[in-house]
Structure 1
Amino acid sequence: MEELKKLPFFSSVTIPKPILNQETSVAVSLHPADQLLRKKCFQCHLDSPPVKGQYRSQGCAACHFEYSSKGLYEGKDPTISTTEPGHARFHKIRTIPSRSTCVQCHRAFSLQTLSIEGHEELEAPKQIEPTNQIETPATVSTPEVIKSNLVNGTKQFPLFAGKGQVIKDVHTARGMDCTDCHTLFDIMGDGNIYSKQHESVEVRCETCHGDALTYPSISQITQANDSAIRVSKYYKGSSNKVDDWMAVSAHNRKMSNVKVQNGRIVAIGKQTGKVHEVPLVKDYLDAHSIPQHQTRLECSACHARWVVQCPGCHQSIGPDPAPAPESHFFDIGEPALMIGPRGKVTPMLMQPERHLTVTDERANEIPILGRKGNKIGYYREWAFTNPHGTSGSNLAYALNPHSIQKQARSCTSCHLSPETLGLGTGDIKIGKNSTGKNDFIDTLDRTDKILKASQFDPQAKVSIRGESIAGTDQPKARTFNQEEIIRILRVGNCIPCHDRYNDPVYQDIDQSYAFARTVDHRRLRQKILSLGQPLE
């Protein structure tokens, strides 16, 4: 690269007056991506000032200086104004950032009520079935919303009416902070270059909880200069010492706050000092005994209970320099699933299709009119594909939505749900051919959401034949293929009778399928079904 050029502006009307007054030549691209980068992406991903009405610093201080919602100084330094917005709460660097700092960028997590300090004692939620709260369809045409408000000192984002409050992640409900799981190497790097941000995250569910076959990996501190000792000196409560046994992360580093105490694995709050005894998966084999689940599923595939869905547009672009008022409504629902970057089934972030189509009834382009009614241009549709040749506007991402519950989702929500498989909303019609060649999905007629003729549901990410509709930029991540779709749906035939995780039929599913084809099974099934019939 010979020259690093400045990012161009979208159009001449979007150039701020101070820049026009200072610079003689300002580049204009007329591409909406440049508008999106400036107005949205760079608010989190680069050293840039926050949007108007929000307060944070830049660079390292963006995390290690804390700001109040009003941006006012609350300390006792007489040289710092307490009435001028834009100052940190205190003229002091925080060693460990608070959760209120994290959610400035990781905003979906702020749907769970947090205090400004993030350390309030929260009552553990009752383990209830949350589907009635999170699966009510949103009214799309004219949505009533819960307006943004302050809950426990934290600004909440608007949800569609009828959604209520989201169920807190089990870790949040017990008073744990973001930094109690995520390490300094997650955030600030470990000296390696990763092509994707998720690759740098070293904590896994298995780091603390183990899996169905093994307990968490642990390693003993043998040197006084071990980093697990050094960083723990900044934690509230006792610090680590030589001979302590620490849990080991996925990157083979010792965790600094997850250790063995009195023969049990505990996680210690870095900012609270609270000791949380960690339940171990191997001690609960009844719920984790299905062999296929052990090898093919991420923990979050079953235990993540909701994910954010954004049905509206993220960026409004108008012809006038004055920005139009924006309201971005969140929807929440049980996650759809896909294959994640690590090759296991994981929750999916179902991004809506990106589009810009403004035409009249004859498909003629509608001109853009200025305030005085003068024509200043035309709208354009920006269609694009990603490097893999799949859609760059219909997107699907694997993620952990941080909505973990002790009670896992139901078997039917995966094995009998087209939405969970990424097929969209509709009824699955199974053909006579066992290969699935003649299977199809009869989608619901939702013309208010379908903007162009399509055989697929607007939320579909994959066809029933396993043909990917959505694109993703995560290496090795993909939607389900046809073989996987058939295999998942086939289990749904067994669930009406075998609805327990520890049912022995799931220990050898091939043997169970073989028995299902026998006369003995047919007679047994007929006997069971006849028990529910009225006597003549």
Structure 2
Amino acid sequence: MLRRLRAVILVPFLLLAGCGAGGGENGSCLTCHRGIEHASPAHPRCVSCHGGNERARDKESAHREMFAPRNPSDPRSWEQSCGACHPWQLARVKGSLMQTNTGMIKNIQLTWEGEDGRLYGSRRENVHTADGKERQLAAVTELDNVSGELYRKFCSLCHVGIENSYAYDVGHSAGCAACHFPWNDTGTYAGGDLTMKGRGPASASHRMTGLPGNDVCFRCHNRSGRIALSYMGLNDGNTAQVPTRNGFPGPLLTSGNRSVTRITPDIHYAMGMDCIDCHTSRDIMGDGYAYENLYHQVEIRCEDCHGSGTELPRWREIVRENEAPVRESRQYRRQMRPGMRMIVTGKGRPYSNVFYENGQVRLVGKRSGRLYVSKVITGTPAHTVAGHDRLECYSCHSRAVVQCYGCHTNYDKGRTARDFVKDMDTLGLFTESEDYRMLYPFPLALNQRGKISPVTPGCQTFVTVTEMDGRVSKEGYVTTFKGKQQLRFAPFYSHNTGVKAIGCGECHANPAFLGFGQHEVEGRNIAATMLCPKNEEKPLDGFQTLEGGKVRAFSAVTREHSRPLNEAEVMKVWRANLCIVCHTRPDDPIYRKELDYRALDDALHRRILAVGGTRVAR
């Protein structure tokens, strides 16, 4: 009886005490949110990030002045929350392509309507360009045409400024939390706070992730170029929901009910390396400057760690205790210190985890602490082949390059769809389908650096437009690029690198590598075999033809200074086959200098050529 009486007296007392019963720092917050994970030792107070009143006695008062109840790092409040303590980091993120998506918006414009002289971002923002000039980005909400609408309804969910709670397996928060408070597949809280348990959209835990893992990168980089899939050895090929094993789709499924099969992963992934082990914080969060395209912001190169055929990796010694590698490595398993020789990036800035030690280039995993030795290829025969100085490393060392051919986009003006930037439904629904996807072989062309690199369709679009009254006003037309109706390809690094390079004979003897697509050789002509009903004269998977021995390009390669190989370059590639059939190894001394085809006139080569293929086959 006495026990019951105590309980009756105690319950009203607790109800009167309310959330503030705990008192003190975080008192009212932790009274309700018992079991919640500490964000990090450097973030002790709830109100420092969330705002609100930690001493209030009821929920309404405690929450009244919160910046954002679920996510204080949302761009609508990140100046007050994250930016209050991290102004430099916030300034970098605000101007980075991860937030502005300027390059994506610009290239959609080029594909659909052409530039209008303005530079757009995810929102109106004053930024500084690399030459020190201030420039204002117009908000993409002001881009009142089809390209602006396409970005807002299709592409915008993959920038960090918008929360993506619409898709299984790829959801993420907005702002800084997009990377530092990862979601699980369902976007629901799974931590120890019972008031939030199972609720969403929310991060899986309230514990901050200072160093994001590959799963965080996968959230966005699994579509379009699909570099996260390729890196991890996954491919959502042409199977869709077609059964691949025992009558079931899969063996894995990802967002959009895509069936995912396994391919050989990137060698760096196979060795246990995370995306952030190669990519610097400046690659991801920006360096304070605003760039118009991703390849301007990304500063790393294969040559940084492995050297080139003629130059060793460069390094710079840490001389002060406050330099960037020392500061950034404080949360790594191994910290950098003054006196260490840090490898530098393509922009001459030091890595925070790659250094020169005991005659070796070494990399320490930022999250794992594992130590890797980077093989330096400078001076090796295979990397000093005459004429290969214009090749990007990944032209030879890519195992697979995702290529999506025949993207058919339907735009229905009479139906509504979600505008994720405006956060409302508006007229205009986009739907897409594609003809074919493949991984190998992949075409090569000149990229924006003047180097020969893989290219992939970007964007290879056939558009059908349905008017408000249901009338089809345009059907399967090719959009205009640089004043012409033409398909287009874009330079690309697939993130599926292998140790073993593509064989010399494959690249030099297969016209598909030079942009002719799947084909049949007929005399001095190359006839395409992969044709689309909307474009019957030209192949989807190529950008040039051979007619009467003449090379003619019919599709564009986007990005400045980029283009298909011209006729002289194509013929030079093919002529090397005269030597490759016998001299099959790249370390053969004849490849140390420019090939001299007059040597074929000597007595030895005349005898070989006289017997045709018989002697060669032996």
Q: Deviations over 1:73-123 (max 9, x none)?
A: 1222344x1122311011133222221111222111332585xxxxxxxxx
Q: Does 1:498 align with 2:583?
A: yes
How far off is 1:211 after superposition?
1.4
2:166 aligned to which of 52, 60, 68: 52
Q: Does 1:484 align with 2:598?
A: no
Q: Deviations over 1:225-252 (max 9, x none)?
A: 11110000011x2200010111011111
How far off is 1:419 after superposition?
1.1
> d(CA) in 2 for partners of 1:38 and 1:158?
23
Contact 1:196–1:474 (CA under 8 A) maintained in structure 2: no
Task: Provide the secondary structure at the position in 2 that maps to 1:63.
Answer: helix
2:272 aligned to which of 161, 172, 175: 175
How far off is 1:195 after superposition?
2.4
Contact 1:390–1:470 (CA under 8 A) maintained in structure 2: no
How far off is 1:192 after superposition?
2.9
Structure 2: where are the runs of 5+ without partners? 1-104, 106-140, 418-428
Which residue matches 1:89? 204
Which residue matches 1:15? none
Query: Which structure is higher in helix share?
Result: 2
Which residue matches 1:256? 352
Which residue matches 1:338? 445
> d(CA) in 2 for partners of 1:502 and 1:495?
12
Which residue matches 1:450? 533
Distance 1:156 1:103, change over 3 A: farther
1:310 aligned to which of 395, 399, 404: 404
> d(CA) in 2 for partners of 1:533 and 1:411?
17
Task: Provide the secondary structure at the position in 2 that maps to 1:187.
Answer: helix
Which residue matches 2:543? 461
Distance 1:327 1:199, change over 3 A: same
> d(CA) in 2 for partners of 1:505 and 1:487?
16
Query: Which structure is higher in strand share?
Result: 2
Mean Cα displacement is larger for which, 37-46 or 253-262? 37-46
How far off is 1:58 after superposition?
1.1
Task: Provide the secondary structure at the position in 1 that maps to 2:356.
Answer: strand
**Amino acid of the structure 2 residue aligned with 1:522:** R
Task: Provide the secondary structure at the position in 2 that maps to 1:215.
Answer: coil
> d(CA) in 1 for partners of 2:204 and 2:437?
30
Q: Does 1:109 align with 2:227?
A: yes
Q: Does 1:406 align with 2:521?
A: no
How far off is 1:272 after superposition?
0.6
How far off is 1:275 after superposition?
0.6
Task: Provide the secondary structure at the position in 2 that maps to 1:276.
Answer: strand
Distance 1:349 1:38, change over 3 A: same
Contact 2:464–2:472 (CA under 8 A) maintained in structure 1: no
**Amino acid of the structure 1 residue aligned with 2:404:** C
Q: Deviations over 1:9-38 (max 9, x none)?
A: xxxxxxxxxxxxxxxxxx999965344222
Which residue matches 2:298? 201
> d(CA) in 2 for partners of 1:29 and 1:202?
30
Contact 2:455–2:490 (CA under 8 A) maintained in structure 1: yes
Which residue matches 2:559? 474
Which residue matches 1:356? 463
1:76 aligned to which of 175, 192, 206: 192
How far off is 1:43 after superposition?
1.3
Which residue matches 1:33? 147
How far off is 1:181 after superposition?
0.6
How far off is 1:399 after superposition?
1.4
**Amino acid of the structure 2 residue aligned with 1:105:** C
Task: Provide the secondary structure at the position in 2 that maps to 1:420.
Answer: helix
Distance 1:477 1:112, change over 3 A: closer
Task: Provide the secondary structure at the position in 1 that maps to 2:363.
Answer: strand
> d(CA) in 2 for partners of 1:52 and 1:28?
24
Distance 1:332 1:144, change over 3 A: farther
Which residue matches 2:322? 225
Larger radius of gyration: 2
Task: Provide the secondary structure at the position in 1 that maps to 2:561.
Answer: coil
> d(CA) in 1 for partners of 2:184 and 2:143?
37
> d(CA) in 2 for partners of 1:260 and 1:330?
41
Q: Deviations over 1:166-195 (max 9, x none)?
A: 110000111111110110111222233322
Which residue matches 1:280? 376
Aligned length, in residue pairs: 454
> d(CA) in 1 for partners of 2:204 and 2:326?
30
Task: Provide the secondary structure at the position in 1 that maps to 2:439.
Answer: strand
> d(CA) in 1 for partners of 2:613 and 2:557?
45
Contact 2:410–2:464 (CA under 8 A) maintained in structure 1: no
How far off is 1:349 after superposition?
1.3
Distance 1:200 1:113, change over 3 A: closer
Task: Provide the secondary structure at the position in 2 that maps to 1:338.
Answer: strand
> d(CA) in 2 for partners of 1:326 and 1:467?
30
Distance 1:311 1:527, change over 3 A: closer
Which residue matches 1:128? none
Q: Deviations over 1:289-348 (max 9, x none)?
A: 31211x111100100110112236475545555889978785322321111111111111
Contact 1:349–1:396 (CA under 8 A) maintained in structure 2: yes
TM-score normalised to structure 1 length: 0.75
Q: Deviations over 1:401-441 (max 9, x none)?
A: 101000111112211111110112213456xxxxxxxx431
Q: Deviations over 1:472-521 (max 9, x none)?
A: 4411111111111111111123222121101222223342x111244542
Which residue matches 1:395? 488
Task: Provide the secondary structure at the position in 1 that maps to 2:545.
Answer: coil
How far off is 1:139 after superposition?
9.1
Contact 1:311–1:330 (CA under 8 A) maintained in structure 2: yes
How far off is 1:527 after superposition?
5.6
Contact 2:312–2:378 (CA under 8 A) maintained in structure 1: yes
**Amino acid of the structure 1 residue aligned with 2:481:** N
Distance 1:51 1:532, change over 3 A: same
Q: Does 1:240 align with 2:336?
A: yes
> d(CA) in 2 for partners of 1:267 and 1:522?
52
**Amino acid of the structure 1 residue aligned with 2:204:** R
Distance 1:527 1:315, change over 3 A: closer
How far off is 1:383 after superposition?
4.0
How far off is 1:352 after superposition?
6.5
Contact 1:394–1:471 (CA under 8 A) maintained in structure 2: yes
Q: Does 1:42 align with 2:160?
A: no
Distance 1:458 1:315, change over 3 A: closer
> d(CA) in 2 for partners of 1:60 and 1:400?
26
Distance 1:92 1:314, change over 3 A: farther
Q: Deviations over 1:238-282 (max 9, x none)?
A: 200010111011111111100123331111110110111111112
**Amino acid of the structure 2 residue aligned with 1:496:** V
**Amino acid of the structure 1 residue aligned with 2:533:** I
> d(CA) in 1 for partners of 2:340 and 2:450?
34
Q: Does 1:290 align with 2:397?
A: no
Mean Cα displacement is larger for which, 252-261 or 52-61? 52-61
Contact 2:517–2:539 (CA under 8 A) maintained in structure 1: yes
Contact 1:353–1:394 (CA under 8 A) maintained in structure 2: yes
Contact 2:600–2:606 (CA under 8 A) maintained in structure 1: yes
> d(CA) in 1 for partners of 2:541 and 2:354?
40
